Amino acid sequence: MAQIVKRAFKFRFYPTPEQADELARTFGCVRLVYNKALQERTRAYRSEGRKVSYVESSAALTEWKRTEELDFLAEVSSVPLQQALRHLQTAFANFFAQRAGYPAFKSRKKSRLSAEYTRSAFRYHDGRLTLAKMDAPLNIVWSRPLPEGADPSTVTVSKDAAGRWSVSILCEDTVRPLDPTSDMVGVDAGITALVTLSRPIPGVTDDDGKVTNPRHERADRRRLARAQRIPARKEKGSANRDRARVKVARVHARITDRRRDVLHKLTTAIVRENQVVVIEDLTVRNLVKNHSLARAISDASWRQMRTMLEYKAQWYGRELLVVDRWFPSSKLCSACGTLQRFMPLNVRDWVCACGVVHDRDVNAAKNILAAGLAER
């Protein structure tokens, strides 16, 4: 049965100089409002022991606009400023629920530049998107069509460190489940192989069910190091240093884009070909504390892969099962169930007492599948 989901469609766009200036002012005002509201909330809690609500922050924003010092806040659309306060409210809610750390101030150089517009602050008609305070629509590169009859509810405009402008359009989309299949698969995440599956998928894995890790960061490490050395030779605060910093950001963006593309294609193939997908509950936050493996683990991006599997399985009517992180998938013989006492990381092949020869990763994937089905 088809389901309606909220889905964001992201596109590149190229603003006119006037639009770029307007958006730059908006980004700056959004950052200022967020930081000022955070400062006031922190002060109120530390000095008075009280929590400041969103309503109070919104009223304070109105007062700030009336002051001579901050009257420029009234020159940009009010909606992105209100959305910044809502995001701060969400950040505090997550903090008090112990889902996240204390909200941090937005940095002028390090924070992502973005502004969120709701329905009252933009117009969308026949593929033309016009934001508040702008006379002309954005020059968007429509790399794919929006759903038929799309009625966007939120538009987020952003500019990354590499200088690329993007617009993310949130709207409802109808997702139809894939045809049911009897196939099931266990997924073992790794470093040498990005993933090893309990059964091979033609055109996706090799004959053993392994997907080679492209190691995008390592492939571009020399280029990245060369780009990172250039800013160090430029004068601090100079335009040359800023241009050199953009070149570094472009290398990072290239790595990120290629990694995301590989993960999207891989997770889509896994979900398309299997009714049940079983993965391990890996705690990446703890794993990256191993400084010998942190760089490789981050490059593999296991957390992002799991996120993609979760929402794609939900969309397309598949079942995603998660096995406990302490399950000894590598030490257990998938043939007879014998548990090995020791299994160092450098052991990639081993022979069980029952005589079966195991590839460490393939055996782990089979055990993950069996454990997930047993807990189902």
Contacts of 46 (CB under 8 A, 6+ apart): none
Q: What is the mean pLDDT of the chain?
A: 92
Q: Out of 22, 217, 273, 280, pick the active-site residue.
A: 280
Burial class from Cβ neighbours inside 10 Å (0-12, 13-18, 19+) for residue 354 reads exposed
Contacts of 344 (CB under 8 A, 6+ apart): none
Burial class from Cβ neighbours inside 10 Å (0-12, 13-18, 19+) for residue 110 reads exposed
> Mind listing the pLDDT tens digit for each residue in 111-125?
789 999 999 999 999
Q: What is the pLDDT of residue 299?
A: 85
Known active-site residue 208: no
Known active-site residue 242: no
Q: What is the pLDDT of residue 219?
A: 87
> Mind listing the pLDDT tens digit for each residue in 214-254?
998 888 889 989 998 998 888 888 889 889 998 999 999 99
Assign 1 a pLDDT band (cuts: 50, 70, 90).
Answer: confident
DSSP-derived letter for residue 211 is E
d(CA 245, CA 232): 10
Contacts of 237 (CB under 8 A, 6+ apart): none
* CA 259 from centre of chain: 12
Assign 344 a pLDDT band (cuts: 50, 70, 90).
Answer: confident
d(CA 81, CA 167): 17
Query: What is the identity of the amino acid at 253?
Result: A
Q: Out of 116, 217, 273, 361, pick the active-site residue.
A: 361
Query: What is the identity of the amino acid at 243?
Result: R
d(CA 187, CA 184): 10
Radius of gyration of the chain (CA): 25
The residues that bridge with 10 in the sheet, in sequence order, are 168
Q: Summarize the confidence of residues 285-300 as an average pLDDT.
A: 79
CA atoms within 13 A on the CB side of 284: 16
d(CA 268, CA 230): 39
Name the residue with higher pLDDT: 66 or 217.
Answer: 66
Q: Out of 22, 116, 188, 273, pick the active-site residue.
A: 188
Q: Summarize the confidence of residues 128-142 as an average pLDDT.
A: 96
pTM over 0.75: yes
Read off the tokens for 125: 């008609």
> Mind listing the pLDDT tens digit for each residue in 52-64?
999 999 999 999 9
Q: Which of 92, 130, 110, 93 is nearest to 31 (CA)?
A: 110
Per-domain residue ranges for the chain? 3-175, 184-374
Read off the tokens for 183: 């196939």
d(CA 299, CA 195): 13
Known active-site residue 71: no
* CA 196 from centre of chain: 23
Assign 343 a pLDDT band (cuts: 50, 70, 90).
Answer: confident
Q: What is the pLDDT of residue 159?
A: 95
